[in-house]
Structure 1
């Protein structure tokens, strides 16, 4: 019985290894798009702190927006309510995504009423949404 198991094992082992390798390759190649989460609610920027972890459309007046090219990730911060560091809410666009906008995002949104779609997270006590696409931000 053991000898027949070894006989079949010689054939099964390479096939199992091949299946595992193919699975690992496809898991790295195929990455489904995360997409914009469907908002559960529409809230104001000062209400965002009460909805951490939820998908929402957060609306308000942009107090200031700035691109910081000399720090890691090259973020663009779009601050709502009051200017940084007292903002009610922040939309963050990482440098890797800036090329998706036709103009610098800080020029488009500064001083305007804006709505941002996404999942609300907290960063150092400030609610924020990480914006990956212009489709997530609408001027009002």
Structure 2
């Protein structure tokens, strides 16, 4: 999952954010960072709250895998209302969002099937709720 959240997702946001912020001007980086900073994070998200996004020549979306997972999951709720419904760049991001949802669901189904005798850890329990939160 690190490949998705630290690799693919970071690259997606590094190309999406300049488009949303500079080209389309749907919102500013300051507005996005304010949304990230002021969001009311749930109990399972407090430890994975995304870091502020920085920009010099490029957008720095430096997050841990768990922070990126939270950011990917929450971005539609934080900024989706600013973005046109028919934007193809946003549609591409939404595909990534769906892929992340499928990965989590597939992993949990596989783990619980193979290791039904093992107690689910709290972090795994939080994963159980991610698909519903992403919908």
Looking at CA atoms only, which structure, 1 or 2, has the larger radius of gyration? 1
TM-score surpassing 0.5? no
Compare relative contact order (CA 8 Å, sep 6+) and give the higher one, 1 or 2. Answer: 2
TM-score scaled by structure 1? 0.23
Structure ranking higher in strand proportion: 1
Structure ranking higher in helix proportion: 2
